[in-house]
Amino acid sequence: MMHGKLGPSLDFLSGGGEMGALMRAHDWSTSPLGPPENWPQSLRTVVSLMLTSKFPMFIAWGPHLAFLYNDGYRPIFGAKHPHALGLPFRDVWSEIWPDIEPLVTKALAGEATYHEDLHLVMERNGYPEDTWYTFSYSPVRDETGGIAGMFCACTETTQEVKSRAALKAEQDRLRELFKQAPGFMAMLSGRDHVFELANDAYLQLVGHRRDIMGKPVREVLPEVAGQGFFELLDKVYTTGEPFVGRNLRVGLQRKPGSRVEDRFVDLVYQPITDSEGKVTGIFAEGYDVTERVQAEESLRESEARFRNLADNAPVMVWVTEPDGTCTYLSRSWCEFTGQTPETGLGFGWLDAVHPDDRDWSDEVFRNANLKREAFQLEYRLRRADGTYRWAIDAAAPRFGSDGTFLGYVGSVLDITERKQIEDRLSASVAEFRTVTNVTPALVWVYSGTGRSIFLNQRWHEFTGQTVEEAEGQGWAQAMHPEDAERILPYWQHCRETGETYEGEVRYRRRDGEYRWHAFRALPHADQNGVIEKWFGVSVDIHERKEWDDHRELLINELNHRVKNTLTIVQAMAAQSLRHVSDEDRPKAQAFEDRLFALARAHDVLTRENWEGAELREIIDEVVEPYLRQKTKHFEIEGPRLRLIPRTALAIAMAVHELATNAAKYGALSVPSGCVVITWVITPGDVPRLVLRWQERGGPPVTVPTRRGFGTRLIERSLAQDIGGEVRLTYAPAGAVCVMDIPLSEAGGTAEHPSRH
Cα–Cα nearest to 626, from 690, 573, 673:
673
Dihedrals phi, psi of 628, to nearest 5 degrees: -65, -20
Residues with Cβ within 8 Å of 705's Cβ and at least 6 positions away in sequence, in order, are: none
Give rounded-to-5 percent helix, strand, coil for the chain: 45, 30, 30
**Per-residue pLDDT tens over the stretch 527-580:** 888 998 889 888 888 888 777 666 665 555 555 555 555 555 555 555 555 555
Provide the CB-side half-sphere exposure for 511 (13 A, CA). Answer: 2
Q: Where do the structural domains in the chain lie, given as residue ranges?
A: 8-162, 181-288, 294-423, 428-540, 550-755
At the fourth CATH level, the homologous superfamily of domain 181-288 is PAS domain (3.30.450.20)
At 746 the pLDDT is 44
Q: What is the DSSP string of 366-432?
A: HHHHHHT--EEEEEEEE-TTS-EEEEEEEEEEEE-TTS-EEEEEEEEEE-HHHHHHHHHHTT-HHHH
Residues with Cβ within 8 Å of 500's Cβ and at least 6 positions away in sequence, in order, are: 494, 520, 521, 522, 523
Per DSSP bridges, beta strands 405-414 and 316-320 are: antiparallel
Dihedrals phi, psi of 55, to nearest 5 degrees: -80, 140
At 570 the pLDDT is 54
What is the Cα gyration radius of the chain? 44
Mean pLDDT of 182-210: 85
Cα–Cα nearest to 604, from 583, 586, 619:
619
**CA-to-CA dists, residue 579 to 221, 583, 587, 588, 668, angstroms:** 87, 11, 13, 10, 29
- Domain 428-540, what architecture? 2-Layer Sandwich (3.30)
At 600 the pLDDT is 56
Identify which has the larger pLDDT, 605 or 463: 463
Domain 550-755 adopts which CATH fold?
Answer: Heat Shock Protein 90 (3.30.565)
**372 backbone φψ class: left, alpha, beta (φ>0; ψ -120 to 50):** left
Q: Lowest mean pLDDT: which of 37-41, 191-195, 443-447, 561-565?
A: 561-565
- Whether 588 has a pLDDT exceeding 50, the answer reads no
Contact 446, 430 (CB under 8 A): no
**The residue count for the chain:** 756
d(CA 678, CA 658): 14
- Whether 591 has a pLDDT exceeding 70, the answer reads no
The burial of 44, by beta-carbon neighbours within 10 Å (0-12 exposed, 13-18 middle, 19 or more buried), is given as: middle
Residues with Cβ within 8 Å of 247's Cβ and at least 6 positions away in sequence, in order, are: 264, 266, 289, 293
Read off the DSSP letter of residue 579. T
- Percent of the chain past pLDDT 70, that is, above it, reads 84
Contact 130, 83 (CB under 8 A): no
d(CA 86, CA 23): 9
Cα–Cα nearest to 236, from 279, 198, 196:
279
Mean pLDDT of 282-309: 82
pLDDT band for position 28 (cuts 50, 70, 90): confident
DSSP E strand stretches across 206-314: 243-252, 261-273, 279-288
- Whether 599 has a pLDDT exceeding 60, the answer reads no
Domain 294-423 adopts which CATH fold?
Answer: Beta-Lactamase (3.30.450)
Q: For 260-371, where are the alpha helices, taking DSSP H only?
A: 290-311, 331-337, 341-344, 355-371
At 231 the pLDDT is 93
At 567 the pLDDT is 55
d(CA 390, CA 388): 7
Read off the DSSP letter of residue 558. H
**Per-residue pLDDT tens over the stretch 99-145:** 999 999 999 999 999 999 999 999 988 889 999 999 999 999 998 99
Topology agreement, domain 294-423 and domain 428-540? yes
Contact 368, 375 (CB under 8 A): yes
d(CA 721, CA 724): 8
Contact 59, 142 (CB under 8 A): no
d(CA 548, CA 564): 24
Bridge partners (DSSP) of residue 533 are 447, 524
At 322 the pLDDT is 92
d(CA 576, CA 568): 12
pLDDT band for position 421 (cuts 50, 70, 90): confident
Q: What is the DSSP string of 149-184?
A: EEEEEEEE-HHHHHHHHHHHHHHHHHHHHHHH-SSE
What element of type H or E holds 2?
none
Residue 40: asked if its preceding bond is cis (omega within 30°), the reply is no
CATH class, 8-162 region: alpha beta
Residues with Cβ within 8 Å of 92's Cβ and at least 6 positions away in sequence, in order, are: 67, 80, 84
Q: What's the angle, vertex CA 234, arms to CA 230 and CA 235, rounded to 5?
A: 115
- Whether 7 has a pLDDT exceeding 60, the answer reads no
d(CA 532, CA 534): 7
CA 370 to chain centre: 25
At 752 the pLDDT is 36
Q: For 52-156, where are the alpha helices, taking DSSP H only?
A: 74-77, 89-92, 97-108
At 108 the pLDDT is 93
**CA-to-CA dists, residue 692 to 324, 604, 740, angstroms:** 41, 22, 9
d(CA 665, CA 661): 6
**Per-residue pLDDT tens over the stretch 606-621:** 555 556 678 888 888 7
Residues with Cβ within 8 Å of 210's Cβ and at least 6 positions away in sequence, in order, are: 203, 220
